[in-house]
Amino acid sequence: MDIFLSFITTTAFFTMTWANLLMIVIGIVFITLAIRKDYEPLLLVPIGFGMIVGNIPPVEGMALSVYDQGSVLSMIYYGVSQGLFPPLIFLGIGAMTDFSTMLSNPKLVLLGAAAQIGIFLTFIGALYLGFSPSEAGAIGIIGGADGPTAIFLSAKLAPHLLGSIAIAAYSYMALVPVIQPPIMKLLTTRKERLIRMKAPRVVSQREKIIFPIAGFLIATLIAPGAIVLVGMLFFGNLLKESCVTERLANTARNAMIDIVTILLGFSVGASTQAQTFLTPQSLLIFGLGALSFAVATAGGVLFAKFMNLFLTDKINPLVGAAGVSAVPDSARVVQVVGQKEDPHNFLLMHAMAPNVAGVLGSAIAAGILWSVLVL
Amino acid sequence: MNNLVLGFENIVYANGVTIALMGMLIVFAALLIISLFIVLLPRVLPLLEKIVPEKHHQHAPTSSTPADHEQVLAAIGYALFRKNAESLPAK
């Protein structure tokens, strides 16, 4: 009987707190959003379930949680905490990215740069709120709308905030279809939303092969801190475009990225134990994250309008919103918002250009922040 | 974290504005140079073509040929025909 009673006291019913319960509910909400609303299901289902797993209070003396040395979860989480998973995801993204639209309309690359203003304004905002420069840099990168980049940089600059930053980044990425349209509509007139853009030119295979090598050299000679992320992105793209490594490209964009996404999503979710996650800082990070997404979207749209002052072939300013690097969700949002005004206007192809440029821009921004703030 | 002490002096002490401006400038510079490279690339390619002509043999199957498309279309058509035929009311 004593053994039974002592076992009962080790059950999670005795150690569970309201905060753990709240996190479990949030995990269930994530899963529900993924299933019912189709919001980033490949990410929200692993993260949501990870949140449920991570908030079952561990038994004292047993290595169970992400933070217990030697536990299975801690070994999986090693890929997150040491920044191993994000570059592997970038390899997969590179192997599935087609840079053709960007190569056919290079001026749209600048929209990918403009949207990175969200990162740097949020950095200033986080400093104002009292975060240290390293923490502010890690929080600012949420504005890049790029989960792997956010995880990579926070693992390097502010590992103690990694859980909150990762959850904020992925939550807002999932909410791109909700956050972006009102801002896009607010900053554009109907006439602007109706602009039709010229069809992109055909890009030769040779251009596609040369670009990843040249793009990598340019980006990393300017910002060497971006070597890992940009390197893997362009390496993956070269595997795809070289036409001689189709098997490797296939593995990178299918099996490998899926495996890494499962491990990353699940372990990030499991790292959100209420005791470390439910803090005032997390709330601030969520607030700053929402702000940075809004600023990034506005930055892209407004810069497109600015460019239109000088261009004869006008850009539909909605395309600027795709400068945030949530690939391909923000490009899809541009297409949806554009088609609401004109069902025969196909902006998706054009929006993919700033979208992939945004991936590049946020990786470069991460490299810059890492180089400057780690010193 | 500095116990949430709000203030503009945090930004000043950390050189926040300088870092933000410099960061934005570098991102723009990098993407602008990439953009210029993309503009120049089609003009350089004809020169490259003279030095290293492009070979048109395939090392690995990369994309489907028109013949493949026809076979796929035929298969889809047949499958649809079978499906529709099964769903038709029996006479």
Contact between chains at B38 and A357 (C-beta distance less than 8 A): no
Residue of A nearest to B15 (CA): A133
pLDDT value of residue B91? 40
B63 within domain boundaries: no
Contacts of A58 (CB under 8 A, 6+ apart): A64, A65, A68
Q: pLDDT tens-digit profile of A51-68? A: 999 999 887 778 888 888
Q: pLDDT tens-digit profile of A302-357? A: 999 999 999 988 999 999 999 988 878 889 999 999 999 999 999 999 999 999 99
B16 within domain boundaries: yes
B32 within domain boundaries: yes
Domain that holds residue B23: 1-53
pLDDT value of residue B66? 57
Report the percentage of chain B scoring pLDDT > 70: 66
Query: Which residues from chain B sit within 8 angstroms of residue A121, using beta carbons?
Result: 20
Estimate to the nearest angstrom the gap between the alpha carbon of A53 and the chain centroid. Answer: 23
B19 within domain boundaries: yes
pLDDT value of residue A91? 96
Contacts of A127 (CB under 8 A, 6+ apart): A133, A136, B10, B11, B14, B16
Name the phi and psi angles at B60, rounded to 5.
-145, 155
Residue of B nearest to A107 (CA): B35
Residue A275 tokens, joined:
């005791």
Contacts of A367 (CB under 8 A, 6+ apart): A220, A223, A224, A225, A226, A227, A229, A230
B48 within domain boundaries: yes
Distance from CA of B71 to the nearest CA of A (A): 22
Name the phi and psi angles at B3, rounded to 5.
50, 40
pLDDT at B57 over 60: no
Distance from CA of A32 to the nearest CA of B (A): 34
Number of CB pairs < 8 Å for A and B? 140
pLDDT at B2 over 80: no
Total tally of structural domains belonging to chain B: 1
Question: Averaged over A177-190, what is the pLDDT?
Answer: 93
ipTM, interface predicted TM-score of the complex: 0.88
Q: What is the mean pLDDT of chain A?
A: 91
Contact between chains at A372 and B41 (C-beta distance less than 8 A): no
pLDDT value of residue B56? 62
B75 within domain boundaries: no
Are the C-beta atoms of residues A351 and A322 closer than 8 Å to each other?
yes
Amino acid sitting at position A276: T
Are the C-beta atoms of residues A138 and A159 closer than 8 Å to each other?
no
More confident residue, A183 or A13: A183
More confident residue, A126 or B73: A126
Distance CA A139, CA A159 (A): 11
Name the phi and psi angles at A364, rounded to 5.
-65, -45
B24 within domain boundaries: yes
Report the percentage of chain A scoring pLDDT > 90: 69
Of A114, A223, A280, the CB nearest to B26: A223
pLDDT value of residue A334? 94
pLDDT value of residue B88? 46
Distance CA A280, CA A164 (A): 11
Distance from CA of B73 to the nearest CA of A (A): 24
Q: How many residues comprise chain B?
A: 91
Residue of A nearest to B25 (CA): A113
Q: pLDDT tens-digit profile of A17-62? A: 899 999 999 999 999 999 998 888 988 999 999 999 999 988 777 8
Residue of A nearest to B41 (CA): A207
Q: pLDDT tens-digit profile of A198-255? A: 888 889 999 999 999 999 999 999 989 889 999 999 999 999 999 999 999 999 999 9
Are the C-beta atoms of residues A356 and A99 closer than 8 Å to each other?
yes
Residue A33 tokens, joined:
């959003």
Question: Averaged over A65-76, what is the pLDDT?
Answer: 90
Say what the pTM is: 0.85
B81 within domain boundaries: no
pLDDT value of residue B89? 43
Of B10, B31, B61, the CB nearest to A113: B31
Query: Which residues from chain A sit within 8 angstroms of residue B23, using beta carbons?
Result: 119-120, 123, 365, 368-369, 372
Number of helices and strands in chain A (H, E): 22, 0
Q: pLDDT tens-digit profile of A256-310? A: 999 999 999 999 999 988 888 888 888 899 989 888 889 999 999 999 999 999 9
Contacts of A232 (CB under 8 A, 6+ apart): A87, A88, A90, A91, A94
Amino acid sitting at position A122: T
Q: How many CA atoms lie within 13 A of A54 on its CB side?
A: 35
Distance from CA of A179 to the nearest CA of B (A): 23
pLDDT at B90 over 90: no
pLDDT value of residue A280? 87
Are the C-beta atoms of residues B16 and A136 closer than 8 Å to each other?
yes
